[in-house]
A = this chain, B = another copy of it.
Amino acid sequence: MYNVALLGAGRIGLVHAVNIVNHPETTLYSVADPYEPNAKKMAEKYGCKIQTIEEVMADPNVHAVLIASATDTHADLIELSARAGKTIFCEKPIHLDMARVKECLKVVEEYNVPLFIGFNRRYDPQFRQVKERLQQGQIGKPESLIIISRDPSPPPAAYVKVSGGLFRDMAIHDFDMARFIMGEDPVSVYASGSCLVNPEIGEAGDIDTAFVVMRFPSGAMATISNTRRSGYGYDQRLELHGEKGVLTAKNIYEDSVELWTDEGCKYAKPEFFFLQRYDAAYKAEWEHFVDILNGKAKPATTGIDGMQALYLADKALESLQTGKEVKL
């Protein structure tokens, strides 16, 4: 049984807490959150300790940490945990600043602890199937990938300001997905973006709508279509075209009931947001992490993956600002 300390007891911390508790080989040992009410609520619900970061790091009973705190604390907590010899599960991103990411990964390397970066979508059963069937040769070599990734509604402009911007905050998942599916790193990136959803997002220096095109060494290409506001729920699809055809992962819908009337056929919306859509992915991700704890697996998404996705986000931003394709 592995004891896990949860660093950060907010919305995403709660998602992980359920999986930690339900897994037969892991226990939610303690929670640390600078905002006391969050920590208390978690402790009461699951009967776990409340600890400070220092206590977590010093406690030999803590085998692993799950970092689900504010983005700007991730790198610091990774370093502390590495030095304390804990196995680390960290929510993306490692940090919004590339130099800081590199520093942090050096520490991880030095202390040689497993670091798993939570790119949850790689564990979504739909996207995973696309990858697996590609590997089985169902469509031959990949040629073009279309990722459609739309949030239901935009975050507050205040959040946008500290988020690192659409590419580093939202599209970073899609950059990682493109790398995951294609199995190679792109050689160029081009981005185009606009502020169409909320002018305050533009005033905060960000965009809310984007198209990205990447080129891979094989000549294959990928495009990403992002918006902060779909208008119809969480739209998470991808379509991979290869030599022999297409593999396409469609949305998961809220229900399977159709209504046919004089106005036509009506069907449900896609599942509302990431908590619903990626429920199975979060579970599968945790199972993978337990395999890392067990020594059965090495992290399938590492610090390098975290760094590469951020690198693509940075370069997309550069392309957006210069109007040029950026060579990588």
Residue positions of A touching B, CB distance < 8 A? 22, 125-126, 129-130, 133, 138-139, 141, 143-144, 146, 148, 150, 188, 190, 192-197, 209-211, 213, 215, 218-221, 223, 225, 227, 230-232, 235, 239, 241-253, 255-269, 323-325, 327
Contact = CB atoms under 8 A, between A and B. Distances in A.
Contact of A266 (B192, B241, B265): B265
Nearest to A319: B325
Given A133-B259, A192-B325, A324-B325, A144 B213 contact: no
A318 to B, nearest CB: 13
Given A211-B144, A259-B139, A150 B264 contact: no
Contact of A243 (B225, B231, B244): B231
Nearest to A216: B194
A325 B260 CA distance: 32
A192 B143 CA distance: 12
A248 B231 contact: no
Nearest to A250: B256
Given A247-B257, A256-B126, A324-B323, A211 B213 contact: yes
A240 to B, nearest CB: 10
25 contacts: A126-B255, A126-B256, A129-B257, A139-B259, A143-B209, A148-B239, A188-B192, A192-B215, A194-B215, A194-B219, A194-B221, A196-B220, A211-B223, A213-B223, A223-B225, A230-B246, A244-B262, A245-B262, A247-B257, A249-B256, A250-B257, A252-B256, A263-B266, A265-B269, A324-B324
Contacts of A215: 192, 194
A248 B242 CA distance: 23
Number of copies: 4
A276 to B, nearest CB: 13
A231 B259 contact: no
Given A188-B323, A215-B192, A219-B195, A260 B248 contact: yes
Question: Main secondary structure on chain A at its contact with chain B?
Answer: strand
Given A194-B221, A263-B266, 6 more contacts: A139-B259, A144-B209, A192-B213, A196-B243, A231-B241, A231-B245
A6 to B, nearest CB: 19
Q: Considering the complex of A and B, which 6 residue pairs feature the smallest CB-CB distances, nearest first?
A: A245-B261, A194-B219, A265-B267, A231-B245, A232-B260, A246-B260
Contact of A265 (B192, B242, B268, B324): B268
A232 B219 contact: no
A124 B259 CA distance: 17
Contacts of A264: 232, 266-269
Nearest to A252: B256
Contacts of A235: 246, 260
Contacts of A250: 256-258
Contacts of A243: 196, 231
